[in-house]
Amino acid sequence: MILHTEYQERREQLMAKIGSGTAIFKSAPVAVMHNDVEYAFRQDSDFFYLTGFNEPEAVAVLAPHHEEHRFILFVQPKEREKEVWTGYRTGVEAAKEKFGADEAYPIAELDEKLPQYLEKADRIYYHLGRDRKFNDTILDHWQRLMRTYSKRGTGPFAIESTNPILHAMRQVKSAAELEMMRKAVAISVEAHNHARDFAQPGRYEYEVQAEIEHIFRLRGALGPAYPSIVASGANSCVLHYIENDRQMQDNDLLLIDAGCAYGYYNADITRTFPVGNKFTPEQKILYELVLRAQQDAIAQIQPGNPYNQFHDTAVRVLVEGLMDLGLLAGDIEEIIKEEKYKPFYMHRTGHWLGLDVHDAGAYKHGENWQILQPGHVVTVEPGLYIGMDTEPVEGQPAIDECWRGIGIRIEDDVLVTAEGHEVMTEAVPKSVEDMER
């Protein structure tokens, strides 16, 4: 569980960085599924990270230089007639008591109350890349303050994104965050291990999906962290296959990419295994290659290593293997540099993981890759995909039919530690012996 004191510490840490600026964060909107039916509300991750407040139509303001109020919340007021329809609201009073705001107002008063927190700020910290309509609100305030600048002699002369500061914070997970992630991982591990026992020829992909998502909810997860991919046979070559409606056959591989969200923290796991008892010889050869690429890539997850190193390692292992199999030919350095392997491996080997599945945080600073440090969590997920219609790049060998229809990905969630790394998801087996039965 993440305590209120931790949210407060995060706000303090951010405020120390913005000095005499004012930072503004908007909650997520209510999203419509169709007509007037709404999706389950999902809070904006930046907003949640700083407030723990889980309602729409809210704005958080951090004004470290303000004399009285450093943390201000604008929220939906308590309104019984509305709450009867759309659920409980915290309301203005409790926003102060429960969420530690120095001051709180009804959201309808935003235009009236916001200027007092901007007038003395030297800049506005606000991310313009998310909500066009709210951008207009902020830009209107800014223009007005600029027009009246000479009267006061103070006011924000620039708008800057909060992302570099905030996302660098989000990138390093606290002990409490890791506890949430471990919970998401434990539930997802259980679901994967059950799915492997449950899958068999004759069953449909959606039956496996149902078993997985049943466990997610049964164990208290919010649900899937992303649409579950349950892809058998040649469907495994479609990276984001989510129809999940095919009947599985003997000799198919089944690729399952599924993870749950627990209290907004996500797990992201992929395993690929035979639906029947054994790999075919070609499936086994490619599986062992992807597994080797993944294990060698995981070995590169060490504090001090640049972020790209594990991807580069995976690519090299895969390319060497594909050359040995006659699926790629020529000079290895040229194949890698010119990305001639891309018909078989078209995505990167991982991403940051946390409050978002593809989590916040820079991968590069200018020309330099981010250096891994303790508290970072990444996925390591190499794959090979040889679809029925995959074409080699010009000048590369024709693809023998025996390889077609095979898609394999193996994905683990890996924490960078002071000593090296910890594979958080290692309780889902992945050796050839464990995948066969």
Residues that bind ligand GLY (CB under 6 A): 226, 257, 268, 351, 357, 381, 411
Closer residue to Mn ion, CB minimum distance, 124 or 181:
181
Q: Near Mn ion by CB under 5 A, which window of 148-156, 263-271, 273-281, 314-322?
A: 263-271
**Given strand 159-160, what is the order of strands in its sheet?**
103-106, 71-75, 59-62, 22-26, 124-125, 159-160
- Dihedral sign, Cα of residue 154, residue 157, residue 161, residue 167: negative
Least distance to Mn ion, CB of residue 313, Å: 17
Q: Smallest distance from the beta carbon of 383 to ligand GLY, in angstroms?
A: 10
Give the span between the Cα atoms of 306 and 368, in whole angstroms. 8
Nearer to Mn ion, 72 or 184 (CB): 184
* Tokens 């991968």 -> residue: 363
Q: Which of the choices ligand GLY, Mn ion, none does residue 46 contact, using the CB cut-off of 5 to 8 A by kind?
A: none
For residues 221 and 399, which CB has a smaller minimum distance to Mn ion in the complex? 221
379 contributes a contact to Mn ion by CB under 5 A: yes
Note whether 177 binds Mn ion by CB under 5 A: no
With contacts defined by CB under 5 A, name the span among 119-127, 191-199, 214-222, 255-263 that binds Mn ion: 255-263
Alpha helices per DSSP H over 70-131: 80-86, 91-99, 110-113, 115-118
In this structure, is the dihedral angle defined by the CA atoms of residues 94, 97, 98 and 99, taken in order, positive or negative? positive
The reply to whether 207 sits near Mn ion by the rule CB under 5 A is: no
CB 353 to ligand GLY: min, Å: 9
- The 10 Å Cβ neighbour count of residue 360 is 18
Helix (H, G, I), strand (E, B) or coil at 131: coil
Alpha carbon dihedral 196, 202, 204, 209, in 10-degree steps, equals: -20
Interstrand relation of 368-369 and 377-380 (parallel, antiparallel or unpaired)? unpaired
Cβ proximity to Mn ion, 149 vs 226, nearer residue: 226
Span from 179-187, 371-379, 382-390, 414-422 in contact with Mn ion (CB under 5 A): 371-379
Residue 190 binding result from ligand GLY, Mn ion, none, given CB thresholds of 5 to 8 Å by partner type: none
Distances in Å between the Cα of 266 and the Cα atoms of 199, 262, 319 are 24, 6, 31
In the structure encoding, which two tokens stand for residue 102, read together?
């120095």
> Which of 103, 190, 252, 268 contacts Mn ion by CB under 5 A?
268
Cβ distance to ligand GLY smaller for residue 134 or 226: 226
Q: Which residues pair with 254 in a beta bridge?
A: 232, 273
Name the binder of 359 from Mn ion, ligand GLY, none, CB < 5-8 A by kind.
none
Q: Smaller CB distance to ligand GLY: residue 166 or 269?
A: 269
Residue 401: alpha-carbon gap to chain centroid: 36
Q: Cβ 362 to ligand GLY, closest distance in Å?
A: 18
Give the binding range for Mn ion (CB under 5 A) out of 120-128, 281-289, 311-319, 404-412: 404-412
Span near Mn ion by CB under 5 A; candidates 159-167, 306-314, 390-398, 406-414: 406-414
For residue 247, the minimal CB distance to ligand GLY (Å) is 23
Kindly tell me which of 199 and 230 has the beta carbon lying closer to ligand GLY.
230
Half-sphere exposure of 147 (CA within 13 A, CB side): 7
Q: Tell me which residues are annotated as active site.
A: 36, 240, 257, 268, 347, 351, 358, 381, 385, 409, 411
CB of 190 to Mn ion, least distance (A): 17
C-beta of 351: minimal distance to ligand GLY in Å?
6
- Cα separation, 230 vs 25, whole angstroms: 36
Q: Could you give the angle at which helices 205-218 and 175-198 cross, rounded to 10 degrees?
A: 140
Q: What are the tokens at 107?
A: 């959201």
Minimal distance, residue 211 CB to ligand GLY, in Å: 18
Q: Applying CB under 5 A, does 171 fall inside the site for Mn ion?
A: no
Confirm if 159 and 138 have CB atoms less than 8 A apart.
yes
If binding is defined by CB under 5 A, does position 257 make contact with Mn ion? yes
Nearest to ligand GLY of 76, 266 (CB atom): 266
The residue at minimum Cβ distance from ligand GLY is 257
- DSSP states of 318-378: HHHHHHHTTSS-S-HHHHHHTTTTTTT--S-S--B-SSSSS-SS-SEETTEEPBP-TT-EE
226 binds, among ligand GLY, Mn ion, none (CB under 5 to 8 A by kind): ligand GLY
Residues forming the site for Mn ion (CB under 5 A): 257, 268, 379, 411
